Amino acid sequence: MLGALCRRIRDSLGTSTAYVAVNRAGGHEAVVSASHGLVTPLFRTLRLPHRIGLGGLVASDGVAQSTEDYARDATFRHSPALDHSVREEGLRGIAAAPVVVGGHVIGAAGRRCPPPRGGTDG
């Protein structure tokens, strides 16, 4: 089911990359559980600590977020491990939205954003 959600995100938004990270029961992190278009094994099993990185912030707070330049964005907390995985995957612009079931945030869905006008993706 999560794989189908990733394909739908990717296809409907015309993006090359999509992932779904699910909050761990009783934990303080979300784990990438399904993806389409991700290149590195590291990102396909990534753990997103709540309130750290864009996906971790969305998975914990339940509010959609986006950035044109993940590495330079100071509106969310960074960690060396997450920053490394984003860099290795070649991501720059990222958007994430909460995954909500029965009124409860169960994780985050993310996608690659197109580059800003005149820029290059990556």
Residue appearing with tokens 């189908």: 4
- Domains annotated for the chain, with CATH where assigned, are 2-112 (3.30.450.40)
Residue range 26-33: mean pLDDT, rounded: 92
How many angstroms separate the Cα of 60 from the Cα of each of 15, 33, 54, 105, 118?
24, 16, 10, 8, 33
Q: What percent of the chain has pLDDT over 70?
A: 94
What's the pLDDT tens digit per position in 36-69? 999 999 999 999 999 999 999 999 999 999 999 9
Using CA atoms, how far apart are residues 43 and 31, in angstroms rounded to an integer?
A: 10
Model confidence, pTM:
0.89
**How far apart are alpha carbons 86 and 109 in whole angstroms?**
15
Query: 69: Cβ–Cβ under 8 A, 6 or more apart, which residues?
Result: 92, 93
